[in-house]
Structure 1
Amino acid sequence: MTTRRALNAPTLAEIRKWPATVSVADAARALGVSKSHLHALIRSDESPVKVLSFRSAYRVVTADLVNVLSGEREAA
């Protein structure tokens, strides 16, 4: 069985201390998916978390990431 720690995934307590927005790579690690998979979800408008777009750069809203991971909001 693979644990979140084995995947180098941050704990929810660690994520709560992150800045207001984080990179797609950090968000993907927290969600347990690859960066390319999360980018594909973002491009197809199917991201489970809120994403801010700055031209070609994306930032994931940490508060929404916390809500999804804590079960306060269902992933889309």
Structure 2
Amino acid sequence: MTKPSRPTLADIRKAWPATVPVTQAANALGCSRSHLHNLINRGEAPVKTLPLGRRHVVVTADLIRLLSGEPPATAQEQGAA
């Protein structure tokens, strides 16, 4: 079985929806699905995730921010009061 190729930042910006599965985000980050799940479960994920039932999805805008080298969003930018 072949591993899917890593998407480019341009691919992600152009075609990805607002949220993506952990597997897809892990591929873009160059890590395994299980590693990203472990980071999420410990609250140490480098990207914003949202719980969706028993699973999580990754916010694509935050993934783009990380991959493009931009600084993390502030609490105000994330909508916190």
Which bracket does the TM-score occupy, shorter chain normalised? 0.7 to 0.9
Report the TM-score when normalising by structure 1: 0.85
> What whole-Å deviation, never above 9, does each CA across 1:9-59 have from its counterpart, x for those lacking one?
100001112000000000000000000000000000000000000231110
Match of 1:10 among 7, 12, 20: 7
Report the TM-score when normalising by structure 2: 0.80
Q: CA RMSD in A?
A: 1.5
Cα distance in 2 for partners of 1:10, 1:62 equals: 13
Matched letter for residue 11 of structure 1:
T
Match of 1:49 among 47, 50, 63: 47
Matched letter for residue 32 of structure 2:
S
Alignment of 1:64-75 (within 5 A): 64-74=62-72
Corresponding residue of 1:32: 30
Structure of larger gyration radius: 2
Matched letter for residue 12 of structure 2:
I
Any gaps of 5 or more consecutive residues in structure 1?
Answer: 1-5
Provide the identity percentage.
57
Poorly superposed stretches of 4+, deviation over 3 Å: none
